[in-house]
A = this chain, B = another copy of it.
């Protein structure tokens, strides 16, 4: 086995852009590896690289051995006429389908070494789908035994070797599997058996599977999601930390008349128009494509599917580079309610997402609804407020002001007028208060932070959903409860958020024995309301 050679270049959420060095060259991740069938191939590997940008592909060592095992001088790059990086699978998929294969792990490992694979896999036992727990346990343990047994066989080999994680949808077994394989000297890990989970649209459990594996594997090794090739799942899987994908879907779907899009699958026969900008779709229309002879149609459909797949990888990479992976993932998760449900389930992983994400990408935050509450920017603000910021405040009163219409709030005209009013109407002693704004989704925004990212740069859809307003007002009330101030003044409007903030803060103040006064007005930025506030602060 080669020494580890995976270098991270950029990240967003748990997604990352990395460079993986292999003996045949360096590959940038996240990477999609099209499965190349050594026996019949719609798009020749050389074209894959030149026209589709595929720097890496994967083929099946087991099938290869069956058909061409007798060839002397077998070298996979030469055989495929391809000078990129070649990964090989071991036949584990065939075990899943046929129950067993006609080769031992030793033979398969030896063959992968002989054919010159750049990335190779041990002969693991896929967990599969809908099998009894005892069987799942066996696949996990047997895979680990084989991984252990493989170590002496691959020691010193030039290829990068993959140590798979099994366990299917049994999360405790995925954890056991990941922890054990993590301690072995593999350079890449892979999560097995997501295909059926994806095909049955059980995306919430897919998220859990990936997260359990991710939490228990060394972050410095790439994670390959076996058999995932639909562009609609890339952004989600990458956001959770997957780095590599392989699939024959682009070709298999084409044979079956299925047309990939970044939001799902369509049937060519039901297309009146080609909703895509790829070279295949721009040069002809749906009727033309449908009317072709099968061979030509399948070839073109494979090309379309591969274009869409590869450009989705670039789209995800660009999103990582600009810090917009969350937004891309949200967009793709509108492709199906099950994906949207998976997205909502990310809230329980918000701390993982926050830890993985860089703190500033120079880009305003778009907030749409409570589905966005798991965003790292929000988790980080809440944490900073409650863990670091709160204890340092010393002013007499806490003055909570509803957020003005423009950002940054401390520079908004509406606040400037209020400030002038307070300065003119109050003596030094009555001016002893700490101003905090409140706004969804962040909750409390202390005035000193109003010009920091992302508090000065966010836009929200209107009206926001109830869950977001509850989240923001809960956060305000928690801040009020924890703060050292004995007196709290709220200056608010009459909207839903204002009412929630007022009632929750009232409860918090009662519980903590704090004094609360509220100045609320239908026109909070009018002179009358401002005057009332000045009087309240003076009193």
Q: Is A80 an interface residue (CB 8 A)?
A: no
Partner of A322, one of B270, B315, B371: B270
Residue-wise interface mask of A (295-328) relative to B, using a CB-CB cutoff of 8 A (1 in contact, 0 not): 0000000000001101100110111011000010
Q: Is A25 an interface residue (CB 8 A)?
A: no
| Whole-angstrom distance between the Cβ of A30 and the nearest chain B Cβ | 11
Partner of A331, one of B331, B366, B367, B461: B331
Contacts of A317 in B (CB 8 A): 272-273
Give Cα A463 to B51, complex, Å: 43
In this complex, what residue of B is CB-closest to A335?
B331
Cβ contact within 8 Å between B276 and A279: no
List A476-491 residues whose CB lies under 8 Å from chain B: none
Partner of A276, one of B263, B272, B277, B467: B277
Q: Is A336 an interface residue (CB 8 A)?
A: yes
Contacts of A462 in B (CB 8 A): 337, 341, 344
| Whole-angstrom distance between the Cβ of A461 and the nearest chain B Cβ | 4
In this complex, what residue of B is CB-closest to A366?
B337
Q: Is A370 an interface residue (CB 8 A)?
A: yes
Cβ contact within 8 Å between B315 and A273: yes
Contacts of A322 in B (CB 8 A): 266, 270, 272
Partner of A369, one of B52, B327, B369: B369
Cβ contact within 8 Å between B367 and A337: yes
Give Cα A266 to B282, complex, Å: 22
Q: Is A95 an interface residue (CB 8 A)?
A: no
Cβ contact within 8 Å between A331 and B263: yes
> Which label, helix, strand, loop or mixed, suits the secondary structure of the A interface?
helix
In this complex, what residue of B is CB-closest to A267?
B322
Contacts of A315 in B (CB 8 A): 273, 275-276
| Whole-angstrom distance between the Cβ of A336 and the nearest chain B Cβ | 7
Contacts of A281 in B (CB 8 A): 311, 314
Q: Is A110 an interface residue (CB 8 A)?
A: no
Give Cα A74 to B524, complex, Å: 64
List A510-524 residues whose CB lies under 8 Å from chain B: none
Cβ contact within 8 Å between A336 and B51: no
In this complex, what residue of B is CB-closest to A468?
B465
Contacts of A311 in B (CB 8 A): 274-277, 281-282
Partner of A51, one of B51, B266, B282: B282
Cβ contact within 8 Å between A53 and B366: no
Give Cα A85 to B270, complex, Å: 29
| Whole-angstrom distance between the Cβ of A64 and the nearest chain B Cβ | 29
| Size class of the contact patch on chain A | 35 or more
Give Cα A308 to B209, complex, Å: 36
Cβ contact within 8 Å between A337 and B461: yes
| Whole-angstrom distance between the Cβ of A262 and the nearest chain B Cβ | 9
Contacts of A270 in B (CB 8 A): 322
Cβ contact within 8 Å between B52 and A282: yes
Cβ contact within 8 Å between A308 and B277: yes
Give Cα A337 to B369, complex, Å: 10
- Residue of A51, A285, A341 ringed by the most chain B CB atoms within 10 A: A341
Contacts of A463 in B (CB 8 A): 344
Residue-wise interface mask of A (337-377) relative to B, using a CB-CB cutoff of 8 A (1 in contact, 0 not): 11011001000000000000000000000111111000000
Q: Is A459 an interface residue (CB 8 A)?
A: yes
Q: Is A494 an interface residue (CB 8 A)?
A: no
Partner of A368, one of B308, B340, B366, B466: B340
Q: Is A330 an interface residue (CB 8 A)?
A: yes
In this complex, what residue of B is CB-closest to A322?
B270
Partner of A327, one of B272, B334, B460: B334
Residue-wise interface mask of A (442-471) relative to B, using a CB-CB cutoff of 8 A (1 in contact, 0 not): 000000000000000001111101110000
Given A277-B277, A277-B308, A314-B273, A460-B337 contact (CB < 8 Å): yes
Cβ contact within 8 Å between B273 and A344: no
Q: Is A271 an interface residue (CB 8 A)?
A: yes
Q: Is A49 an interface residue (CB 8 A)?
A: no
Q: Is A390 an interface residue (CB 8 A)?
A: no
Contacts of A338 in B (CB 8 A): 459, 461
Q: Is A278 an interface residue (CB 8 A)?
A: yes
| Whole-angstrom distance between the Cβ of A330 and the nearest chain B Cβ | 6
Give Cα A344 to B281, complex, Å: 33
| Whole-angstrom distance between the Cβ of A309 and the nearest chain B Cβ | 9
Contacts of A335 in B (CB 8 A): 331
Cβ contact within 8 Å between A334 and B334: yes
The 4 closest A-B pairs by CB, nearest first: A340-B461, A275-B315, A277-B311, A466-B466
Q: Identify 7 new A-B residue pairs, CB closer than 8 A, beyond the known A263-B331, A336-B459.
A: A51-B282, A52-B282, A273-B314, A273-B318, A277-B278, A340-B461, A465-B467
Question: Could you list 6 A-B pairs, sorted by A, with CB under 8 Å?
Answer: A263-B331, A272-B322, A274-B311, A275-B318, A338-B461, A344-B461
